[in-house]
Amino acid sequence: MSLLESISSPADVRRLRASALPDLCEEIRALITETVLRNGGHLASSLGAVELIVALLRVFDFSKDKLIFDVGHQAYAYKILTCRRGRFSTLRTWNGISGYPKRAESPFDHFDVGHSSTSLSAALGYAKARDLLGQDHYVVAVIGDGSLLNGMAMEALNCAREVNTRVLFILNDNEMSINRRVGGLAEHLARLSVHPTYLKLKEMVKEQCRLLPKGESLEGVLGKIKSQLKTILQPSNFFENLGLSYWGPFDGHDPEELEDIFRLAKLYEKPLLLHVITKKGKGYSPAEKDPARFHGVSPSTLEGKKEEVSWSAAAAEVAEAMAESDPRVVCLTAAMMEGTKLASFAKRFPDRFFDVGIAEEHMVTFAAGMAAGGLRPLVFIYSTFLQRAMDQLVHDTAMQGHSVLFALDRAGLVGEDGETHHGVLDVAWCRAVPGLTLAAPRDRRDLEFLFSHAYQNNKGPLVVRYPRGCAPAEICRAFSDSPCAPWGKAEILFEGTEWVCLGFGSTIPLLLDVRVLAAERNIPMPTVVDLRFLKPLDEVLLQHVLARHRLAVVAEEGSLAGGIGEAVAELAGRLATGVKVRRLGVPDAYVPQGTPREQREYCGLTAENVLKLFHD
């Protein structure tokens, strides 16, 4: 029996001899690597946090104490050691173990995560609840250096001094976000890691672990140490300046050192930040060498399968072409250069490429400022992360009419990342923003058309939404050079009888399947309309098709509430033609993880289902 097989709960981890920990960590790494290479997931971050998690589980009792991971993509070892080893092979599959901490999954998970930089705020909230309710557990947050450099995390750090209670922030510093972390504070972290004073402080704190103070308060002893140090060198420390205590940096791959420090930290009664240095991808050499590539992996990329052109790659290619012919074109990303495929743009146009770090709010207003100043900014952002920057989209961009092109990636159901990462709210939200244009291409031809004509045809923000996955080169184009439909116009792809199916973007292939299936079943083939522009809708064409059919089915990969089906039903009501409108889309629920196909089935977005509506 392997060491790992002998562990069924955190109590077993606590019972192990310290000398067994390196072997345990190795076994955990092997299980994580094998599972992620098969199922996909976040490999490098999880491999880097193994010793940290083992040490935390040996010092704290997370059946009572609270642990909040930031993003949660580094928590696989925690899942394995908190009674989920047996189900770990189902990672990221339908009904399987989630890729992120989830309260519904385990009593050891204390806060659901997926989006970054929430852990410090949630931990402060938990700590305050504990104090006011007269409870006595510990509260710990684990945050990466990339996530720490975000505005939300900064707001929490700023608040920590006011909350002024026992809470432990562990900064898991591997010098990386997905790519290298960026910005001034990143430099500061690097300086802290090597500054002699802090290395000396680390030795002093470790010394205190051996002689845990008797009689005197820990704060008092450490306060004296620090004032001695300050008279020697007085380096500036961002965290100390905010009123937080800072200890570190410590070796994040030495479980015994970590245990000692955590035991000491338990005695500390105030907000404390422990700076721990780890290596992203630790123990798996391909990931150590190329942590960005192994940040999030999917089995197909690892098998080296030649991927068809993804929507992201197609969009990035158009951006490059635009930048070539127009020096005003610039591209922005919030720490998602890999996912949005902007590496080649960054290389070719380094002065016109901006990775702002995980800072979506800043990015959108930064882009609005650039537009106001005469540039043509392209903001590459996942739909789910635009949720962070809705106010900046409304208040700083649309309300002022700034022309910013939003390349809205992963708009729709995203598959294995699950609930936290779906891009299904953008249509409903964008519909409500005055002055904003929202469009969705069905193929690469229309994507290119929308991007390259954006600045001639559009004033104010233009959001072009496209899903995860590969982008069809052409759908329903008579000739390879037939022009796209005009700006602002919907397009009838096929004429049919009795009923019309309306869709956009990723639901167009589905509606074409409906025609095939209808022909097979001797059901009248529907008219198929690609709406293309979702705001404003092409009401002229819509009026025309609604008047000519008895039934209209709208299929959308977005939330039904506030979606395009509602807009069409509202228009049909206004026209009073008697056409019946049926809507398919994402229901009022958080769609579980699984393959995109399983998720579409869950939402009823299948050709079979559309066909059933004909007899409704």
Ligand X SMILES: Cc1ncc(C[n+]2csc(CCOP(=O)(O)OP(=O)(O)O)c2C)c(N)n1
Residues near ligand X, by CB under 6 A: 45, 48, 71, 73-74, 115-116, 144-147, 174, 176-178, 280, 335, 358, 360, 385, 388
User: How near is the Cβ of 395 to ligand X at its closest, in Å?
Assistant: 19
**Whole-number minimum distance, CB 48 to ligand X, in Å?**
6
Question: Measured from the CB atom, is 48 or 563 closer to ligand X?
Answer: 48
Least distance between ligand X and beta carbon 361 (Å): 10
Q: Which is nearer to ligand X, 176 or 528 (CB)?
A: 176
| Distance, CA of 492 to CA of 7 (rounded, Å) | 61
Cα–Cα distance between 529 and 495 in angstroms, integer? 9
User: Angle at CA 307, nearest 5°, toward 304 and 313?
Assistant: 125
CB atoms within 10 A of CB 603: 22
To the nearest whole angstrom, how small is the minimum distance from the Cβ of residue 411 to ligand X? 15
- Residue ranges in 211-291 assigned as alpha helix (H): 218-232, 238-241, 255-266, 285-289
How many residues are there in the chain?
616
Q: Is the dihedral of CA 141, 146, 150, 154 positive or negative?
A: positive
- C-alpha neighbours within 13 Å on the C-beta side of residue 339: 23
Give me the sheet containing 499-503, strands edge to edge.
491-494, 527-530, 499-503, 551-559, 580-586
Cβ contacts of 488 within 8 Å, gap of 6 or more:
457, 533, 536, 538
As a whole number of angstroms, the distance between CA 113 and CA 420 comes to 7
Neighbouring C-beta atoms of residue 40, cutoff 10 Å: 22
Residue nearest to ligand X (CB): 144
609, two tokens? 């289902």
Cis ω on the peptide bond leading into residue 536 (within 30° of 0)? yes
Q: Are 530 and 541 in contact (CB under 8 A)?
A: no
Residues in a beta bridge with 499: 551
123 versus 579: smaller Cβ distance to ligand X: 123
In angstroms, what is the minimal distance from the CB of 270 to ligand X?
A: 24
Residues known to be catalytic: 280, 360, 388
Task: Write down the least CB distance from residue 465 to ligand X, Å.
Answer: 18
Which is closer to ligand X, CB of 425 or CB of 514? 425
User: In the complex with ligand X, which residue's Cβ is closer, 82 or 174?
Assistant: 174
Q: Which is closer to ligand X, CB of 99 or CB of 472? A: 99
Min dist. Cβ of residue 217 to ligand X (A): 33
Q: What Å distances lie between residue 387 and 364, 378, 464, CA to CA?
A: 11, 17, 15
Cα gap 389→125, rounded to integer Å: 23
Whichever of 145 and 566 has its CB closer to ligand X, that residue is: 145
